[in-house]
Amino acid sequence: MHIKLTCGSELLVAGWPGCVPPTVEQLLNSVRNTHPQLRASWCDEQGHVRTSLAVFVNGQHIRYRKGFKRS
């Protein structure tokens, strides 16, 4: 599956196995393994994405979608 997760100009995730799209939580967990300092700055102590982080899905900010489910 074609997935691209970037931080500035750095490519963090390029592609995802299978044909089921990952959740934002799955992507953040994959970043935790390779860039733990980024994950810590993107999420609060409870693991919720900080409101200051802009998250886009297919070029659209999630604030204009239904957001994403927090577990």
Query: Which of 68, 39, 44, 47 shows the shortest CA–CA distance to 56?
Result: 68
| Within a domain: 52 | yes
Residues 6+ apart with CB under 8 A from 4: 11, 13, 14
> What is the pTM assigned to this prediction?
0.65
Instruction: Report yes or no on 47 lying in a domain.
Output: yes
On whether residue 70 sits in a domain, the answer given is no
Residue 67 reports pLDDT greater than 60: no
In a domain, 19, yes or no: yes
Judged against a pLDDT cut of 80, whether residue 63 lies above it is answered with no
CB 1 within 8 A of CB 15: yes
pLDDT band (50, 70, 90) for residue 4: confident
Domain contains 28: yes
Structural domain boundaries enclosing 60: 4-64
Residue 59 lies in a domain: yes
Query: Are 49 and 26 contacting, i.e. CB atoms less than 8 angstroms apart?
Result: no
Statement: residue 65 has pLDDT above 80 = no
Task: Tell me how many domains the chain contains.
Answer: 1
Q: If DSSP codes are grouped into helix, strand and coil, which group holds residue 35?
A: coil
